[in-house]
Amino acid sequence: MKTIYLDNNATTQMAPEVIEIMQESYALYGNASSMHSLGRESMVAIEAARSSVARMIGADGAEIIFTSGGSESDNTVLMLARDMIDEGSKRHRIVTSTIEHPAIIETCQYLEKKGYHIDYVNVDASGRIDSDSFAQLMGDDVLLVSIMAGNNETGTIQDIQKLTQIAHAAGALMHTDAVQAIGKMETDVRQWGVDYLSLSGHKFYGPKGVGALYVRKGAPFKAFVKGGHQEDGNRAGTYNTAAIVGMGRAADLVFETSVQERQNLWYLREKLRTGLQAAIPNVVVNGHPTLCLPGTLNVSFAGAEGESILLMLDFEGIAVSTGSACATGSLEPSYVLLAGGLDVELAHGSIRFSLGRYNTESDIDYVLEKMPTIIRRLREISTR
């Protein structure tokens, strides 16, 4: 049976070039914090990876802090804001959106329970934030704004540069969760003007368990993970040399190939979208039609449950998702889709196809061959 992997927003397979360099780096067993030659060898490799990650997003190496991934990076920024409020900042409000990743949403909900003031900006039917509504939430009491660059479920892209300008005009700090954006859209911290940016290696063909946080030079910062002097005291913990090196190589590949890759992903996405809409009636495409991550296609099928579609596709060797992988096991419809005003039934019938670097036209042809029969069978069952 064929295996078609269309769940790249959940995680990507490691690039062969990444696997190769990681295998080589396992020989660098010296602790990078040690002063002897074996430690220095590891640190040289780590610093090279830091430069690669920085180049990928238009930053300086000194502005990159290695973390365990996007969730830690997100939490670090929110807990920084909490500490600043606790220390007497006159600014005491945090603003985010209703469609953020659970690493932001659930942390904000935790802070709310502790008495911190969180405001959530709404999105329109396409998942976009209205800049006027966003501006109305700004004020001299806003400390931090956190808005994702590209949504993990619908793929909808936000205008981070404009939102940052509005936030900065109000004197607030700006963070963006760019975990899904890396490699799929132009990501330049200087152009965007953000103070903080989160990324994760396994979303762009690197290893799991490693990520980074960009902190603009001069922006407030203190360590979230404490207990050591690593990362100039900004993040404690023994360096995972192989994973960091692997992420650095993945960053190089993004820098070298992302433009062509984005064009190819959009072509495949549109082939899948038009094919589904031509072959299956009552198909609703979720998210913005053009301001969308090129490999993401979120579709709702009226009269069919998303979980059932997923299982039947899996039986045919096709791996997809019903939404965010972080919500797997939940029977609740996607809060991201509901935030955009989608009907509950349609939200329950949504499937996220997320294409990646190694997908081909034959993959799309195979999906288009199998989908009409699956949807027809499920609709027949639901009307009996």
Q: What string of H, E and C letters represents the secondary structure of the chain?
A: CCCEECECCCCCCCCHHHHHHHHHHCCCCCCCCCCCHHHHHHHHHHHHHHHHHHHHHCCCHHHEEEECCHHHHHHHHHHHHHHHHHCCCCCCEEEEECCCCHHHHHHHHHHHHCCCEEEEECECCCCCECHHHHHHHCCCCEEEEECCCECCCCCEECCHHHHHHHHHHCCCEEEEECCCCCCCCCCCHHHHCCCEEEEEHHHCCCCCCCEEEEECCCCCCCCCCCCCCCHHHCCCCCCCHHHHHHHHHHHHHHHHHHHHHHHHHHHHHHHHHHHHHHHCCCEEEECCCCCECCCEEEEEECCCCHHHHHHHHHHCCEECECCCHHHCCCCCCCHHHHHCCCCHHHHHCEEEEECCCCCCHHHHHHHHHHHHHHHHHHHHHHCC
Catalytic residue flag (residue 326): yes
Euclidean distance between CA atoms 13 and 36, whole angstroms: 35
Catalytic residue among 135, 236, 284, 326: 326
| Residue 312 CB partners (closer than 8 Å, separation 6+) | 374, 377, 378
CA-to-CA distance for 250 and 213, rounded, in angstroms? 16
Q: Is 72 left (phi over 0), alpha (psi -120 to 50) or beta?
A: alpha
Active site positions, annotated: 326
